[in-house]
Amino acid sequence: METKNNQEQEIDMNQLMQVRKEKLDKLMQEGKNPFEITKFNRTHTTKDIIEKYDELEGKDVTVAGRIMGKRIMGKASFCHIQDGEGKIQSYVSINELGEESYKEFKEDDIGDIIGITGFVFKTKTGEISIHAKEVKLLTKSLKPLPEKFHGLKDTDLRYRQRYVDLIVNPEVRDTFIKRSVIIKELRNILDEKGYLEVETPILNNLITGDAARPFVTHHNTLDMDMYLRIAPELNLKRLIVGGFEKVYEICKNFRNEGMDIKHNPEFTNVELYAAYEDYNDMMNITEEIITRLCMKVNGTLKINYQGTDINLEAPWRRITMIDAIKEVTGIDFNNIKTDEEAIKIAKEKNVELEEGKTTRGHIINEFFETFVEETLIQPTFIMDYPIEVSPLTKKKKDNPSLTERFELFIGGREYGNAYSELNDPIDQYERLKKQAEARAKGDEEAGMMDEDFVNALEIGLPPTGGLGIGLDRLIMLLTDSSSIRDVLLFPTMKNINNN
């Protein structure tokens, strides 16, 4: 039955498109091809007219936009047009346009883009409108807009045809406007704090900066494999070595891993580094960045995300990973000193361990991810990660098995990651060496040895705090979007022809 309905819809669509093409052919035969128009001079946007009605009432304006609704009533009609800032109604009559122009207007279809010149007034119902004196067809839409695009069962179509999604769903447009506002305000915050915005390479010779599976490409001229950036971290720290004391980059990173509502292979991060600061300073700036961004787009720090109330008012909770595990499970890893003891407790609690990740530190991290992460609804900084999962982080002075690292969790998801950066070149070399050895044994997420970065540390990296925030996830939170695809204009999609 569904196949039959789809076939009927396809026939109807083909018929509607044929009618529109015939209208276009007729216009072209009359020398009125709309696609030959190269420019149209507008005086106002729809938003201008609505916001400045008092000063524009009775005055002529020229606007342009897409026809979103139309009511033909004999010798007078109404239509709604939509531009980049909103919608406005226009009253169109045969008396004002003349018989020929009015007839042409009646042939215009929903989805067509038109220009209107006329004076501003209010209808008897109080709706701000334009009394058209001239209507000009600027673009002929050859394919009708879907009436209920948002309600289609195939939700992937909204992502594949984002251009239609933006036309027919105002809330989608609002989300991406907010995204732009968030990125702009983020720059304002960091610029005013003295951070320098920089750019680092997307194509890299080595896999460095984080534990992740990379995308691999090949440079023909150099005849060498290269890797799409998984993180800009090491290059940004090189700049701190070079004397830039505060730097940041809003960057695209790429990871050849799974896809779900929280992950897209191409994603946007902000990373920032400040000399002479540590992970406590990074906690402070994280709070400030997120609270200011939330106030900018929502006007409040008390938000609701997918049915859960979240309070972003600072200060946020700060707790160590080991204490958080104890709080949820009752297990205190401060009393578990050896790998063997940790493996035993993991088996007792049915915690699955990956091959090669059976140290006490790996098991602490696995316990956290298994039992604790999803319980962290209100903003919480989880501090002091095991050294095994933090190869670029300074050790804690009082406990060298742990590092000065935190991650931020809200609503059971991770939003930020920060370190007191490791600046000991000897220690860093040994940790990178272990990563390289793990990679040689088959760990595709392990990093490579970067001897030039070690050389930079030998030149001297001052004590430095570093922070990375996943902007796509943060924008999901601040716009109450359920999937990362809802905040990416063009998310990665499977080829529609693949089976």
Distance separating alpha carbons of residues 9 and 306, to the nearest angstrom? 34
Would you give the end-to-end CA distance of the chain in angstroms? Answer: 22
Q: Is the pLDDT of residue 149 over 70?
A: no
Percent of the chain at pLDDT exceeding 70: 96
pLDDT at 4: 43
Query: Tens digits of per-residue pLDDT, 333-350?
Result: 999 999 999 999 999 999
* Best CA proximity match to 456, nearest among 235, 127, 306, 249: 235
Calculate the alpha carbon distances from 148 to 30, 168, 226 in Å. Answer: 35, 8, 45
Q: Find out whether 457 and 424 touch, Cβ atoms under 8 Å.
A: yes
pLDDT at 10: 60
The label of the residue with tokens 């809802």 reads 486
Query: Tens digits of per-residue pLDDT, 486-499?
Result: 999 999 999 876 54
Helices (H), 349-424: 360-367
Angle between helix 360-367 and helix 321-329 axes, rounded to 10 deg? 60
Long-range CB contacts (within 8 A, 24+) of 183-188: 183/250, 183/471, 185/292, 185/293, 185/296, 186/250, 186/270, 186/289, 186/293, 186/471, 187/250
The label of the residue with tokens 């004590």 reads 463
pLDDT at 446: 83
Mean pLDDT of 58-81: 96
Give residue 386's region: left, alpha or beta (phi > 0; psi -120 to 50).
beta
Distance separating alpha carbons of residues 49 and 44, to the nearest angstrom? 7
pLDDT at 157: 87
Distance separating alpha carbons of residues 21 and 285, to the nearest angstrom? 57
Spatial strand order in the sheet of 317-320: 196-197, 246-254, 266-275, 464-470, 413-420, 405-410, 380-383, 317-320
- The region of weakest confidence among 165-174, 203-212, 328-337 is 203-212
pLDDT at 148: 57
Q: pTM higher than 0.85 for the full model?
A: yes
Strands (E), 290-428: 302-305, 308-311, 317-320, 380-383, 395-396, 399-403, 405-410, 413-420
Q: Is the pLDDT of residue 279 over 90?
A: yes
DSSP 3-state assignment of 409?
strand
- What is 168-316+378-487's CATH topology? BirA Bifunctional Protein; domain 2 (3.30.930)
Q: Is the pLDDT of residue 130 over 70?
A: yes
Range 2-139 classified under CATH 3.40.109.10: no
pLDDT at 417: 96
pLDDT at 357: 87
The mean predicted confidence, pLDDT, of the chain is 93
Which band of pLDDT confidence, cut at 50, 70 and 90, is reported for residue 154?
low
Mean pLDDT of 16-45: 96
- The region of weakest confidence among 274-283, 426-435, 469-478 is 426-435
Q: Is the pLDDT of residue 150 over 50?
A: no
Q: Is the pLDDT of residue 260 over 60?
A: yes
Which band of pLDDT confidence, cut at 50, 70 and 90, is reported for residue 1?
very low
Calculate the alpha carbon distances from 31 to 35, 37, 95, 328 in Å. Answer: 11, 12, 24, 75
Q: Where are the domains of the chain?
A: 2-139, 168-316+378-487
Angle between helix 170-192 and helix 471-479 axes, rounded to 10 deg? 120
Spatial strand order in the sheet of 224-228: 203-204, 224-228, 216-219
Query: Tens digits of per-residue pLDDT, 357-404?
Result: 899 999 999 999 999 999 999 999 999 999 999 988 999 999 999 999
Query: Tens digits of per-residue pLDDT, 179-210?
Result: 999 999 999 999 999 999 999 999 999 988 88
pLDDT at 3: 44
Percent of the chain at pLDDT exceeding 90: 85
Mean pLDDT of 33-61: 97
pLDDT at 212: 86
Q: Find out whether 465 and 282 touch, Cβ atoms under 8 Å.
A: yes
Distance separating alpha carbons of residues 463 and 282, to the nearest angstrom? 13
**Quick count: other Cβ atoms within 10 Å of Cβ 33?**
14
